[in-house]
Amino acid sequence: MADGGLPVVARFDVRHRNYLAPDGSINRPLPAFASDADLLTALYRAMMLLRNFDRKAVALQRTGRLGTYAVSLGQEAVSVGIASAMRAEDVLLPSYRDNGALIWRGVKLEEILLFWGGDERGNHFSGPIEDFPFCVPVGSQAPHSAGVAYAFKLRKQPRVAVCMFGDGATSKGDVYEAMNFAGVHKLPVVFVATNNQWAISVPLRLQTGCETLAQKAIAAGFIGEQVDGSDVVAMRAAAEDAISAARDGRGPRFIEAVTYRLGDHTTSDDALRYRSAEEVQARWKEEPIARLRSYLVGQKMWSKAEEEQLAAECHERVEAAVERYLATEPRRPESMFDHLYADLPGVYAAQRRELAGEGDA
Amino acid sequence: MPEMTLVEAVNLALARAMEDDPDVVVLGEDVGINGGVFRATVGLQARFGSERVLDTPLAELLISGLCVGMAAQGLKPVGEIQFMGFLYPCIDQLVNHASRIRNRTRGRITCPMVLRTPHGAGIRAPEHHSESTEAMLAHIPGLRVVIPSSPERAYGLLLAAIRDPDPVVFLEPTRIYRAAKGEVEDNGEALPLDVAFVLRQGRDVTLISWGAMLKETMAAADALAAEGVAAEVIDLATLKPYDEATVLGSVAKTGRCVIVHEATRTGGFGAEIAALIAERGLTSLLAPVARVTGYDTVIPMARLEQHMMPSVDRIVTAARRACQFS
């Protein structure tokens, strides 16, 4: 009996998952997949590629060859860990900072550059063609993921929708409405909140009064788990569990990936305006790539020679993508009408002709 | 052919679409066992099951967002919003996602959804239940905005909207849900979208309207006929994209135009039509284009709402003035 002798009708708990400590040592026995050196090094390679890609993208932006760009610095383990647990036929609904997940799923680097370079063709990407493009209006992709998952359930397809968003998005009704519906219908959807501590300049403590974001799943009727988002082994393990539960008809899950955005919000942001260099410096000790490298090296799964080779590979791959991006022929202005409707209504066809310089509208 | 009301025609079209295409899914608040607050979905859940006729939680943004996700997977969701005043949480989804996902993915992902909602005043409903903000929707690129004005057109246009490969907002004229009756054949035939219907031929003045307001507009045409004025009446039916050729052709014939809508005047869809005529039909005009509209005020509650809506008298007066100009 609780206070006043009233009965307790429900109790909840929120668990936290972590395997690798910041120094690369292990806190508890690793999941089975971690004995697969090829898989672990693939995760490492993907995170390294993402970091290299980010660095180059920022350089392009600074030299006027790319638009505003959102780096993943410090949170590479989230998108790589999640995507690595998905099947090709699952559907990803990413936020604008989930480049790592897109790349893992086969989207070409030059397509991502095209998107950030201001060209819609970047959203007509390789890889799973049913995956959604980056969602810019925060959290508004969450209802889409519930709709996608509802279609899977209606058609009895063993597929899972994976919806990614940031900590700020959890303050929006969109996310709650989607989670609530997913809980009602036990939909095959996994919600992933990347809690990088900052929604542009607003810290988590001003974003929510909750102790965790994971507990928001409790209100929607399913399991929310907090995961060390700088530990790619934990991210992969949590994603595997959540995605397989969803695929098996056990309903949705929520993963709060607790990590830290080491970079600015975007290239248009200066994070020093709202947080100290000391805070960021301290967080560098926890970042995911050095952490996994320490573990791999300690396990003799990774060598200095492999590291050097990887660096060269990443450089080559990114540079080649940049070349292809910069060499992409511009579109004709009137192509902005090309996919407005399935068939362009006559009244807009006239506007298209006007834009093409083919007479008056 | 059986005679039925407009809302019954909506129901008939939904049933026909669901029967013909297993991908059609109906969703919304109270659309299941209750059959919708206006009974537009009555009987559908019993016939097609609760997976395809889905009672959603009370969350309008969710309904529109679910439609986007379902449509991206090739379903043909038909969402219902109970009243237009509750549509506004859906605007984010309509503007940012439904209307543009085809464009921003260069055709990789499409959105064949329909969002239905009652439209307009005149049923003595509570606050927020009498909106007619179609101009706001018609401003959104990539969307279709359709308003039927009879049971026959409700049936045919709704079938067209559901079969259309792009998102359609389908505005149902609340005031004539039951007042409008007509014969509807359940033949599965759609009517064309993007096309205006000429309800009455005339040589003296063009009256353009849509939805429930056509009732007053047709009555005005009758009154004008009694005075020897032959009014041509156009039901615009699709507001986005709208049939410019029919409008311009009619004005070229009559030289005079009165646009009638219930929505407030400033920035209303009548302004768009007047601008079109000014740009491309000016030389045929014999009188200024007139608008008979709702006033630029918040829609009054039941006791005053009829004073906001254009009356037959206001329409006749405007048409008479146009005919007597110069």
Q: Does the annotation count A261 as an active-site position? A: yes
pLDDT of residue A360: 56
Alpha-carbon distance B143 to B166, whole Å? 7
CB contact under 8 Å between A123 and B108, yes or no, is: yes
**Which of A223, A222, A250 is closest to A238 using CA atoms?**
A223
pLDDT tens per residue, range B35-51 = 999 999 999 999 999 99
DSSP H or E stretch at residue A254:
strand A253-258
Establish whether A341 is a catalytic residue.
Answer: no
B97, B119, B129, B261: the catalytic one is: B129
Percent of chain B at pLDDT above 90? 99
State whether A120 and B105 contact (CB < 8 Å).
Answer: yes
Output DSSP code: residue A135. B
| Residues of chain B found within 8 Å of residue A184, distances taken between Cβ atoms | 57
Contacts with A221 (C-beta within 8 Å, 6 or more apart), sequence order: A180, A183, A184
Q: Residue A2's pLDDT is what?
A: 54
The pLDDT confidence band at residue B326, using thresholds 50, 70 and 90, is confident
Which one of B54, B56, B62 would you mutate to disrupt binding with A, by most A Cβ within 10 Å of its Cβ?
B62
Among A137, A144, A342, whose Cβ lies nearest the Cβ of B69?
A144
- For residue A91 the two structure tokens come to 């559907």
Nearest residue of B to residue A131, measured between CA atoms: B109
Taking the Cβ of residue A215 and every Cβ of chain B, the question of whether any pair is shorter than 8 Å is answered with no
- ipTM of the complex, rounded to two decimals: 0.95
In the predicted model, what is the mean pLDDT of residues B103-130?
Answer: 96
- pLDDT at position A262 is 96
**Model pLDDT, residue A1:** 52
What residues of chain A lie within 8 A of the CB of B90, using their CB? none
pLDDT on residue A4:
78
pLDDT of residue A214: 98
Q: How many CB atoms lie within 10 A of CB A172?
A: 18
DSSP labels, A20-85: B-TTS-BSSPPPGGGG-HHHHHHHHHHHHHHHHHHHHHHHHHHTTSS------TT-HHHHHHHHHT
pLDDT in tens, A319-329: 999 999 999 99
Q: Considering only CB atoms, which chain B residues are within 8 Å of A132?
A: 72, 109
Tokens linked to A96: 């604008």
User: Measured between CB atoms, which of A148, A336, A340 is closest to B69?
Assistant: A148
Q: What pTM does this model have?
A: 0.96
- Provide the percentage of residues in chain B whose pLDDT is more than 70: 100
SS3 B179: coil
Q: What is the pLDDT of residues B245-278, one digit of tens each?
A: 999 999 999 999 999 999 999 999 999 999 999 9
CA B274 from chain center: how many Å? Answer: 19
Tens digit of each residue's pLDDT (9 = 90 or more) over B200-241 = 999 999 999 999 999 999 999 999 999 999 999 999 999 999
Contact B242 A147 (CB under 8 A): no
Cβ proximity of A232 and A80 under 8 Å: yes
Q: B288-306 pLDDT, tens per residue?
A: 999 999 999 999 999 999 9
CB-CB under 8 Å, B102 with A151: no
**Chain B residues with beta carbon closer than 8 angstroms to that of A339:** 102-103, 105-107
Q: Provide the strand spans (E) within chain B.
A: 3-5, 24-28, 53-55, 76-80, 114-119, 144-146, 168-173, 181-183, 197-200, 205-209, 231-235, 238-240, 257-264, 290-294
Q: How far is B290 from chain A (nearest CA, A)?
A: 23
pLDDT at A126: 86
Q: Catalytic residue at A265?
A: yes
Local mean pLDDT, 10-residue blocks, chain A (361 residues): 82 97 97 97 98 98 97 97 98 97 97 97 93 97 98 98 98 98 98 97 96 98 98 98 98 98 94 95 97 98 98 98 98 96 96 88 48
Q: Within a 10 A sphere around the Cβ of B2, how many other Cβ atoms? A: 11
- B215 in contact with A at a CB cutoff of 8 Å? no
- Six token digits for residue B26: 């109906």
Residue in chain B nearest A360 by alpha carbon: B280
Report the distance separating Cα A285 and Cα A226, nearest Å: 20
Give the tens place of pLDDT for each residue, B132-147: 999 999 999 999 999 9
